[in-house]
Structure 1
Amino acid sequence: MNIVIKPEAINQLRGREFQENEGIRIEATFVGSCTIYAEHSLLVDIKQDDDDIFMVEDIPVVISKKSQKYLDENIFLDYSPQLGYKISSDQETYKYNLQLKENK
């Protein structure tokens, strides 16, 4: 999996301090319907056993193997003050207007 964090998102995330095995989780959860549909979220979370952790621009990104099934090979994380964070691929925008949440 290739993850690109765009400059605006890097600026938002760069000052954040991460604990050991902690990172920005990109989550794609299957919500089921007659078509394949996944709900996407973005949160600070601890790496679990079924997760892969990717270092992108010195920012740890955590994605579960299950979530990776619902994401394309190339993933982009961007930020806009008007639209919040956006997760996209070469083919589609998964979700925008995301806020980075803390998993507590």
Structure 2
Amino acid sequence: MTSIERTAYPRFKRLITAHELHLFFAPSRDEVEWAAGRTDCDEHLLAQLLALIQAVALRKQGFTIRQIQPHLLIKEGKRKGKNPSVGAISQALQAHDAEN
């Protein structure tokens, strides 16, 4: 078997501190306010925030909006099981950029 050093899998430290989790993964106030303005309940707020955070992370990795679209999935409502439109993703990322 190939040793871990010779594979494409990075090594992560075993423990991540609460500070590190907050620093790298907590949404900003602006992100929470943006998502709250687009939702009507806490479940949808969480879904909006997770989708925004995922879209921002994928864009930072060099993905285009069209490449980001298949990674996002609408969980409830009329469009359940479908991907958000390219326009909706673009609008969300533009709002995120304007606030940061």
TM over 0.5: no
The higher relative CO (CA closer than 8 Å, separation ≥ 6) is in 1
More helix by share: 2
- TM-score category (smaller protein): under 0.3
Q: TM-score, normalised by structure 1?
A: 0.26
Q: Which has the larger radius of gyration?
A: 2
Higher percent of residues as strand = 1
